[in-house]
Homo-oligomer: A and B are copies of this chain.
Amino acid sequence: MTAGSNNSTLADWGELRFLDWLRRFLKDPPLPPGFALLVGVGDDAAQLRLAPVARDLVVTTDASIEGVHFRRQWIGPRDLGWKSLAVNLSDLAAMAARPIAAFLSLGVPPESQISDLKAFFLGLRDAGRRFGCPLVGGDLVRAPQWTIAVTALGAPEIPGRAIRRSEARPGQALFVTGATGESAAGLAALERGDRAPQFIARHRRPTPRLPEAAALVSVCPDLAMIDVSDGVRSDAGQIARASGVAVEIDVDALPISDALRRQARRAGVDPLDWALDGGEDYELLFTTLMGEATIRAAFDSLEIATPIHRIGRTVAGRGARLVDGAGRPVRRADATFRHF
């Protein structure tokens, strides 16, 4: 097999040839207006010129390990590239920050197919173009399995303002964008071999809620926010814990589509388990005193079609707890993914 063939591995090509390919490839999208890349891939570090408005810098980093966070039989390299960037951009969204640029530490086995690596970087670029975040630097190393760590930089939508998960106060409403549980439904469909393209796409190509976050900060002076990566219950618990309040989740108010109900029936699962404890939806979960109509109007004025649902409230106390539509306590076993 020649080094130029379609079955070339990284070991065939060597690092330098692959980085040469990558360097030419990484020219889009451009950085946001006002930012410039002075030194890009191929030096000891990247050097960025910041826009004068960038008084604050938001920085997030997330690692994803083959066999722990994903299985390559269930996600192709292009979707994996998309998702690796998208989940970091979701963290920026949770801080109401606008992406500036991303950096990648990628560990792969030497026998990795060049075609898979190219597809991975194409997927990163797909997400970068869609959400305005170029990959501008990183590190490529040998590893026993695919090991992906992305660091994304952003600038707060409202200069000088920080959106924390720790600023919930009793008396606010709890909202969620979009719908949760659909990524878990997609993962279950992959595990079972079901055809469920809508949910599988939600699992493989999540959409960071960046414009939604921008709309929210524009109308909510009292916003506490997190993105739903571990599940609504777990992430509401994070808000509760960080803020020193209790968060009540009204299980009757969680948006569950008819399609999700049908899929749950096929899988023999209660759809509420997915909606409550399924992870990787990358929706925004937030508390505010502002009303649903105000938020909806802000979304509409920016032509954001994403639904929002009021799914609970903050009260004095601690922890996240489940209630029904009448406010009575509900007990359900917790099905959240445990990292350790």
Contact = CB atoms under 8 A, between A and B. Distances in A.
13 contacts: A10-B340, A43-B165, A43-B242, A44-B227, A47-B156, A61-B138, A61-B149, A63-B105, A63-B141, A63-B143, A68-B143, A142-B340, A147-B147
A164 B11 CA distance: 28
Interface residues of A, number: 68
Contacts of A15: 339-340
Contacts of A50: 50, 54-57
B63 A56 contact: no
Interface in A14-73: 14-15, 38-39, 42-50, 54-65, 67-69
A247 interface: no
Given A43-B242, A142-B340, A65 B147 contact: yes
Contacts of A42: 166, 242
A156 B39 CA distance: 12
A95 B39 contact: yes
Contacts of A255: none
A73 B226 CA distance: 40
Q: How many copies does the complex hold?
A: 2
Interface of A: 10-11, 13-15, 38-39, 42-50, 54-65, 67-69, 91-92, 94-95, 97, 103-107, 110, 136-145, 147, 149, 151, 153-154, 156, 162, 164-166, 225-227, 242, 339-340
A216 B95 CA distance: 39
Contacts of A105: 61-63, 105, 149, 151
A122 to B, nearest CB: 20
Contacts of A62: 105, 139
A166 B58 CA distance: 30
Contacts of A136: 59
Q: Chain A binding site: helix, strand, loop or mixed by DSSP?
A: strand
Contact of A147 (B14, B43, B63): B63
Given A43-B164, A45-B97, A57-B57, 6 more contacts: A44-B226, A57-B153, A59-B137, A63-B105, A68-B107, A143-B147
Given A50-B55, A95-B39, A95-B45, A339 B103 contact: no
Q: Which 3 A-B pairs have the closest CB atoms?
A: A45-B60, A149-B149, A44-B94
A259 B14 CA distance: 36
B65 A14 contact: no
Given A57-B57, A147-B107, A340 B95 contact: no
A45 B97 CA distance: 10
A61 B137 contact: yes
A166 to B, nearest CB: 7
Contacts of A69: 141
